[in-house]
Structure 1
Amino acid sequence: MPMHPMDMPHAGGSRRQASLSIIIPTYQEAGQIGRLIAYLHNHSLVEQVEIIVADGGSIDGTPQEAQQAGADIVLHTAPGRAVQMNAGARQAIAPVLYFLHADSFPPESFAESILQAVARGSQAGCFRMRFDSGKWLLKINQFFTRLPFLFCRGGDQSLFITRQLFDRLGGFREELRIMEDFDFIQRIRQHTHFHILPQYVTTSARKYAHNAWWRVQYANFTIIRMWRKGASQDEMVATYQRLLHYRRPPAGPPKARG
């Protein structure tokens, strides 16, 4: 499917400059994406950020909702989170990129926190994460997101990176249908320190609506172990789909973390 921006002109018909490009990959996020975009606008300055939504084939009105909510650019791309995020990055104009899932709300000070971290020399990093649920077992997941280990990372925590480093790494590997975030963070860590900011992203616990806590953790552990042993994408996708009940975009399962 060819990528093409929807007609999203700014005032005056030209794009403004921005310090931070927020890139949100979406699939069937109607009812959610509008809330997130409104939140991002409410907690950042107009001249600070641009919001790019890269949609992977939604048929529920997600692109239209994103446009109406004030996204600067809405893209239609082939499905697959890595493909979508790279497409968004190609359209971004800011020197810092911020990848954010549609069901995750960053801290209110997200823009200042990220830009200040970059000004201090950080080239890449993320926030800690908590769920929008009071279940005590999910607080275990929350605790581990403050630790520096790779297995504690995941796309739910969002990810910021300088444009320069993103381009040097070649972006996300588009052949990956699963574990694209782990692969990318691993490559970042080979080049620079990965900075964990002390504030929290609040992400949806919707995955746990149809899966027991222990089952999600087992699925995550299994996929990480398979990835480290060099399992094929087909093997990992099939295993993840077998272990968890969750909505699935055409290119495979959703993120294998959380």
Structure 2
Amino acid sequence: MGGEVSRLAARLTMTSLSIIVPALDEAGQIVALLARLAALRLAGAQVILADGGSTDRTVALALPLVDLVVHAPRGRALQMNAGAALASGDALLFLHADTVLPEQAGSLIATALRERVWGRFDIRLDGTHRMLPVIAAMMNRRSRLTGIATGDQAIFVRRAVFEQLAGYAPIALMEDLELSRRLKKISRPACLRERVTSSGRRWEKHGVWHTIVLMWRLRLAYFLGADPRALAIAYGYLPR
């Protein structure tokens, strides 16, 4: 299947972009994030909010700033798949609700997808802890060496390829790593050095060193075959 998908992708010309934002109870920051996407919308990008059952005002606040709101079961994989199913763009960009794109993100993605079928940005972690820049640098270097991307790095992909692969696996955690592994069989990612800025709130809230150890433990357990639902619970994310 990889060869067929690769040949299909090579024939495509990326002309439009759909941005899928999975969200759950993000009323405190959803307006600021979506407002930063206004220029891309004016340039023709489609913005889709994929809500996982927010109980705050996330959806009401987002409605004037997006093209579509999709309601889906809680879980980033399920939410992003629901958004992608209604996307009209030739390229899909999956953007976490606490992540800000660099300037000219649309043209950077378009240029990257002329030669590759998927990619991601380098990342910068926003916060005050002195270890956050070090963590971000390690994430970028590891991703460049392994060809594996995390959702915080704003993964983008040609829609035809995403659909051929049946999207994200419906798992509770590590959906980004799982998708990266399948995409890597088609091509290496375009690793853009321009940086998205992602919140370091979880790192600072739970302790930087504790979070580093936890993430490495969970990642190792996943690669050894652990149940993603159990890993999600250990991460502090309780699927419904």
Under a length normalisation based on structure 1, what TM-score does the superposition of the two structures give?
A: 0.82
Match of 1:153 in 2: 149
How far the C-alpha of 1:66 sits from its partner, in A, is: 0.7
Matched, 1:130 2:130: no
Deviation per residue, 1:116-151 (Å, 9 max, x gap): 1112x1110000001112432011122123321349
User: Quick one: which amino acid aligns to residue 79 of structure 2?
Assistant: Q
Matched, 1:71 2:59: no
Matched, 1:50 2:46: yes
Deviation per residue, 1:56-103 (Å, 9 max, x gap): 0001010111103x2000111111110000000000001000000000
Under a length normalisation based on structure 2, what TM-score does the superposition of the two structures give?
A: 0.88
1:95 to 90, 94, 101: 90
2:134 to 130, 140, 145: 140
Give the 5 Å matches for 1:6-85. Answer: 19-42=16-39, 44=40, 46-68=42-64, 70-85=65-80
Q: State whether residues 55 and 84 of structure 1, in contact with CA within 8 Å, keep that contact through their aligned partners in structure 2.
A: yes
Separation in 1 of the partners of 2:160 and 2:186? 12
Give the 5 Å matches for 1:213-252. Answer: 213-241=208-236, 248=237, 251=239
How far the C-alpha of 1:239 sits from its partner, in A, is: 2.5
How far the C-alpha of 1:45 sits from its partner, in A, is: 5.4
Q: Which has the higher contact order (CA 8 A, sep 6+)?
A: 2
Separation in 2 of the partners of 1:65 and 1:141? 32
1:113 to 103, 108, 116: 108
In structure 2, the residue corresponding to 1:210 is in which secondary structure?
helix
Identity of aligned residues (%): 32
Unaligned stretches of 5+ residues in structure 2: 1-14
In structure 2, the residue corresponding to 1:149 is in which secondary structure?
helix
Separation in 2 of the partners of 1:170 and 1:140? 35
In structure 1, the residue corresponding to 2:102 is in which secondary structure?
coil
Unaligned stretches of 5+ residues in structure 1: 1-17, 242-247, 253-258
Separation in 2 of the partners of 1:233 and 1:89? 22
Number of aligned positions between the proteins: 224
Q: State whether residues 150 and 186 of structure 1, in contact with CA within 8 Å, keep that contact through their aligned partners in structure 2.
A: no
Deviation per residue, 1:3-53 (Å, 9 max, x gap): xxxxxxxxxxxxxxx7100000000000211111110113x2524301000
User: Quick one: which amino acid aligns to residue 20 of structure 2?
Assistant: I
Q: CA RMSD in A?
A: 1.7
After TM superposition, the structure 1 stretch with the greater mean CA deviation from structure 2, 176-185 or 149-158, is 149-158
Q: Which has the higher helix share?
A: 2
Separation in 2 of the partners of 1:46 and 1:211? 38
In structure 2, the residue corresponding to 1:28 is in which secondary structure?
coil
Separation in 2 of the partners of 1:81 and 1:107? 22
User: Quick one: which amino acid aligns to residue 167 of structure 2?
Assistant: G
How far the C-alpha of 1:234 sits from its partner, in A, is: 3.5
Separation in 2 of the partners of 1:45 and 1:26? 19
Match of 1:12 in 2: none
Match of 2:8 in 1: none
